Structure 1
């Protein structure tokens, strides 16, 4: 008997896995905060004896080396990966006995990276599962462009071939357990699926239904921007990251918060966008914990900028700190908890208005109103408000000055990204209105929406 347990990291759109037979466990693609894995192993009463990496990750810092060090587990990484730490090098066709009734077979599946591996789990004589990392995902594949434009076309063709290899070599009943594809920007597209098999992918996955040329053309046409912090993850993982320090940061008073803001550091308010708009420390930035906090903070921040966290409770600060270590932002320089009035000290809290698309319809004709759409390129091309200025969120920090003069009404699709943008604009001294509404409501409000009929047909 065996059990496969997914360890979800929804904020990054990834999954790690713990597999055990009641006494011995293996772990695939562990996240940086390995205490989750250790707690799960203790709960199940099993010992982690083997840790496997499908690839050198681009979207998070791995916990594999640290987990191996704590547990004494063998750490398996592709022998062709140029890492600076000791590991058990593996390659295509290797078979690892992990327990009396469980084996792992290594399958080379290049495409997401050149050295990507998948791991087939064999129970007895049967292949029961395959851990596909960033190769075959639910209804998609991992994106092939993260290593740069010179490699993208070649890797896209590798993805097609790797998907077909898995489909032909493994039984239809084998479960598919990817690392990416649950919101991660490492995925070429997203799926609502929560589980799958090789057989299910054969009937639905474009990589297995299209010719190589058709797949490559479709895949590349659907790729959009990826988070800037990805550029730092590969080197961090190749150098052998240590376990993170999750101890609480030092507490800062109002004077220190003001000093840090004036020094150009990022003082990040973790509250919901409604609370932030209603009153916040001037110059602070709003990255609410209710959305993809770490992804967008890591995407937008000038890398290396010191971060201070503001939360209502120490638990909120701890949650944010945990998310940040997963992308290599290891230690907030300070934190503050409680009420924003305490954070501001004697200074007056700043506010800005919130609105709906119906409000925007009434204001759009006024002189001096600028409508800013901060969604990504493909979203804008599919549909956008007539007359809006397109400035993607990930470019905003560097390009604020490009927005026309006037009162900026900023929107995205549902409000979260617009709230991040609104705080950046407010910090830059712009008069801002946060459109906290669902974009489909723009039609009902009478706003003119420009659509590309090829994309929405």
Structure 2
């Protein structure tokens, strides 16, 4: 009897899989901190026989090479992927035996990348699951624009053909087990759901319900900005990632924190946005450890910039380290735990700024306060509704465009508060007076603020708030 265990990585919106039988197993698309999958295999009492990559990943650093080294497993990588390490190349139609009665069959599914490969798990010759990586996702497909801009349309068409090939090859009841699509920016669009099958996708996914030309047009029109750190992930995975070091960073005291800030290094406070607003080290940035830490810190930070982490506990530092190594931020240069009073030099007080909701913003406007309303959501979110008179700079562009924010107290908002908190910390560190709006955007209309929507040909129309897409990945408002 076969099994499939799912390892979820919510911060990046990805999944890895451990699957096999009573004695041997495969691991599909492992994250870089491989101790978790080794522990999962130990709990099952199985030997990891194969480590399998669906593609050279663009959104995280793989743990495949290290996992294969540690376990002695064969490392299966698509034959057309350009990598510089020894591996077992896999081509369309290749089959490996996991153990008696259980096999893994490769199906070429180009689209997310030119070499993308899906894998069908077969028991007694019958398909029981398909690992689709960045090909067929839940309600979507993997985005086709991460390899080379000139290939984007061609790869979008390949995605359509690959999805249809999977559907033609497999029964409707076969579970679809993708790597991306649970909040990952590798998904071409976001859809809700935790589980699916070939039949469910055939009935509802655009890749099946639309003809190729219409599917390509819709896919290309819906692509979001690519996180900046993606440019470093593919090359790291093709070269062969080094093992990770998750030992505690060097401790930093108040004087060392001040020195690192003065040197232009990044000091990142992992506490909640509420705690940060109430008191923090002046010049520090707030990336909540419980939010999409790896995605947004790696997206915003100048690549290679030294990072010092601040948190209430050493466990929070350790969790952040684990998140960050997955996107190539290997070692914080230092860390400190405790409270802001212990992170600032003697005799100094922590910095602070106010928080508010949209009702507070509306009241301040009514009082005639001089303010700037800054919207840090993505273009696609703003297109569905914006506060009249607001300035728009997406969060991932703000650090390089702080000089474009008009004079006045900045009331910064996003869809739910998390990105606004990051933006508020960036503005506060630059010396601006700031108010962080910690509220769901759907409350803006109820607060009496005018929400408008751009229309074709220029101008805006006033309207009630449109149906929200959740702001962040996975249907969550953050």
- TM-score between both structures, scaled by the size of structure 2: 0.94
Counterpart-to-counterpart distance in 1, 2:466 and 2:105 = 43
SS in 2 for 1:382: coil
SS in 2 for 1:103: strand
Query: What residue is the counterpart of 2:388 in the other structure?
Result: 386
Where in structure 2 are the equivalents of 1:101-116 lying within 5 Å? 101-116=101-116
Contact 1:368 1:405 in 2 (8 A): no
Contact 2:312 2:338 in 1 (8 A): yes
Query: What residue is the counterpart of 1:396 in the other structure?
Result: 398
Query: What residue is the counterpart of 1:364 in the other structure?
Result: 365
Counterpart-to-counterpart distance in 2, 1:409 and 1:206 = 38
Encode CA deviations 1:7-29: one digit per residue, 9 max, x unaligned: 00000000000002111010000
Query: What residue is the counterpart of 2:222 in the other structure?
Result: 222
- TM-score between both structures, scaled by the size of structure 1: 0.98
Encode CA deviations 1:329-361: one digit per residue, 9 max, x unaligned: 000000001111101132210000001101100
SS in 2 for 1:111: coil
Counterpart-to-counterpart distance in 2, 1:243 and 1:305 = 20
Q: Which stretches in structure 2 are left out of the alignment for 5+ residues?
A: 457-464, 468-478
Query: What residue is the counterpart of 1:354 in the other structure?
Result: 355
Give the Å deviation of 1:227. 1.0
Query: What residue is the counterpart of 2:461 in the other structure?
Result: none
Tell me whether 1:373 sits opposite 2:375 in the alignment.
yes
Tell me whether 1:63 sits opposite 2:63 in the alignment.
yes
Counterpart-to-counterpart distance in 2, 1:261 and 1:95 = 54
State the Cα RMSD in Å.
1.2
Counterpart-to-counterpart distance in 2, 1:370 and 1:258 = 30
Counterpart-to-counterpart distance in 2, 1:74 and 1:452 = 54
Contact 1:34 1:243 in 2 (8 A): no
Counterpart-to-counterpart distance in 2, 1:191 and 1:42 = 33
Query: What residue is the counterpart of 2:473 in the other structure?
Result: none
Counterpart-to-counterpart distance in 2, 1:258 and 1:154 = 51
Encode CA deviations 1:349-405: one digit per residue, 9 max, x unaligned: 000000110110011253530000000011011111000000000000000000101
Query: What residue is the counterpart of 1:339 in the other structure?
Result: 339
Query: What residue is the counterpart of 2:471 in the other structure?
Result: none
Where in structure 2 are the equivalents of 1:58-457 lying within 5 Å? 58-346=58-346, 347-364=348-365, 366-451=368-453, 456=466
SS in 2 for 1:96: strand
Give the Å deviation of 1:190. 1.6
Encode CA deviations 1:11-61: one digit per residue, 9 max, x unaligned: 000000000211101000000000000110111111101010000000000
Contact 1:49 1:73 in 2 (8 A): yes
Contact 2:20 2:98 in 1 (8 A): no
Counterpart-to-counterpart distance in 2, 1:258 and 1:416 = 26
Contact 2:341 2:350 in 1 (8 A): yes
Judging changes above 3 Å, is the alpha-carbon distance between structure 1 residues 173 and 409 closer, same or farther for their aligned structure 2 residues?
A: same
Counterpart-to-counterpart distance in 2, 1:130 and 1:364 = 54
Contact 2:270 2:310 in 1 (8 A): yes
SS in 1 for 2:383: helix
Contact 1:156 1:216 in 2 (8 A): yes
Counterpart-to-counterpart distance in 2, 1:184 and 1:398 = 24
Counterpart-to-counterpart distance in 2, 1:447 and 1:270 = 32
SS in 2 for 1:191: coil
Counterpart-to-counterpart distance in 1, 2:453 and 2:63 = 44
Following TM superposition, the consecutive aligned residue runs of length 4 or more in structure 1 with deviations greater than 4 angstroms are 452-457
More divergent stretch after superposition (30-39 vs 445-454): 445-454
